[in-house]
């Protein structure tokens, strides 16, 4: 299931024009006739497709290109797609055909988000009530998902702003023996802008335990609250989430002692991709509707 838009204008759109535009934008790669958007930081993906002029089309609705984004996804997929759509349409001065709308109107990000959200809710209902979803559905409140998305979206900008002396981690989802947690990496106690997540992943290399021959690299998985013992408290400020701002460039003695004393994680752990953690409110609404069906 997907949400689709189609584009037209008074003159043709060439492949050269189409792909030259996307070469100047982040997160796009060419796949045959598609410009595929995939953001490794946020997990968001969608695509633009230039039409094959040999394909049969409705003469009254010429389709020079199209846009496609999957349904049954976290709501922030639309938040990231909206500005990309707006820029594409404005650059080529395109008209928009939205099969989800009865009348054609001038494109706006606000109306796109309204239509996308409605279609996405339908996707949730269809997937959850027709047996298309996995047995285990991961959910979190929409506000939490959006806050994490905003942090991850801003990671490249914040990293550039802070330079190479401070590490800015993206937030990930970790399933530890069936327990889903938001998490960020703090490797070897280095200077890190630690966001407000539930768990901290501490890979130990230089600070790993040593045996007779060498250090044995390992990984620790700890509660965020434990960092109160050695780092500045979480503070809200100019970043998308409250975070701990490092007051050092290399780990001081108290941080060194803290990291070396941690216990390695032994539980089975696996990452959960961003597109697989859904909006709790939409899931609950879809399930309630499913229960009311005859």
Domain annotation covers residue 284: no
* Any domain includes 90: yes
Instruction: State the pTM of this model.
Output: 0.91
Strand partners of residue 34: 31, 49
Domain boundary among 103, 129, 155: 129
Query: Is 294 within a domain?
Result: no
Q: Report how many domains make up the chain.
A: 2
Secondary structure of residue 193 in the 3-state scheme: coil
Low-confidence ranges of the chain (pLDDT < 70): 54-62, 102-105, 131-135, 212, 290-294
Across 100-139, b (16+ Cβ under 10 Å) vs e yields eeeeeeebeeeebbebbeebbbbbbbbbbeeeebeeeeeb
In a domain, 279, yes or no: no
Given 73, 99, 129, which residue is the final one in a domain? 129
Contact residues for 267 (Cβ-Cβ < 8 A; gap 6+): 176, 177, 221
- Give the pLDDT confidence score for residue 61 in this predicted structure: 54
Alpha helices in 55-173 (DSSP H): 76-92, 109-129, 142-162
Please tell me whether residues 149 and 119 are part of one structural domain.
no
The domain boundary, picked from 86, 108, 129, lies at: 129
pLDDT of residue 294: 40
Same domain, 119 and 168: no
- Residue at 65 is within a domain: yes
Same domain (yes/no): 180, 84: no
Q: Is residue 246 in a domain?
A: yes
Check residue 58 and give its pLDDT: 55
pLDDT for 290 equals 62
Cα(96)–Cα(99) distance, integer angstroms: 10
**Is-contact 199 208, C-beta < 8 A?**
no
Residue range(s) defining the domain that contains residue 175: 140-272
Q: How many helices (H) and strands (E) does the chain have?
A: 6, 15
């Amino acid at each position: 299931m997907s949400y689709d838009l189609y584009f037209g204008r008074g003159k043709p759109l060439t492949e050269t024009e189409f792909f030259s535009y996307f070469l100047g934008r982040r997160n796009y790669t060419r796949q045959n006739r598609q410009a595929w958007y995939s953001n490794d930081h946020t997990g968001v993906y969608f695509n633009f497709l230039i039409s094959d002029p040999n394909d049969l089309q409705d003469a009254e609705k010429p389709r020079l290109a199209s846009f496609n984004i999957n349904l049954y996804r976290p709501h922030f997929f639309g938040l990231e797609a909206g500005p990309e759509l707006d820029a594409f349409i404005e650059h080529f001065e395109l008209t928009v055909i939205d099969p989800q709308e009865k009348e054609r109107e001038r494109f706006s990000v606000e109306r796109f988000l309204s239509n996308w959200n409605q279609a996405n809710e339908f996707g949730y209902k269809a997937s959850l009530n027709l047996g298309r979803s996995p047995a285990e559905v991961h959910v979190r409140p929409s506000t939490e998902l959006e806050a994490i998305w905003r942090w991850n979206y801003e990671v490249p900008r914040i990293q550039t702003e802070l330079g190479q002396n401070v590490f800015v981690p993206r937030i990930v989802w970790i399933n530890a023996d069936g327990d889903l947690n938001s998490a960020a990496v703090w490797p070897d106690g280095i200077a890190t802008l630690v966001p407000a997540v539930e768990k901290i992943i501490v890979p130990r290399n230089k600070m790993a335990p040593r045996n007779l021959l060498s250090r044995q690299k390992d990984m620790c998985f700890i509660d965020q609250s434990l960092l109160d013992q050695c780092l500045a408290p979480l503070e809200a400020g100019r970043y998308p989430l409250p975070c701990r701002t490092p007051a050092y460039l290399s780990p001081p003695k108290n941080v060194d002692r803290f990291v070396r004393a941690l216990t390695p994680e032994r539980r089975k752990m696996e990452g959960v991709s961003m597109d697989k953690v859904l909006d709790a409110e939409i899931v609950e609404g879809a399930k309630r509707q499913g229960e009311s069906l005859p």
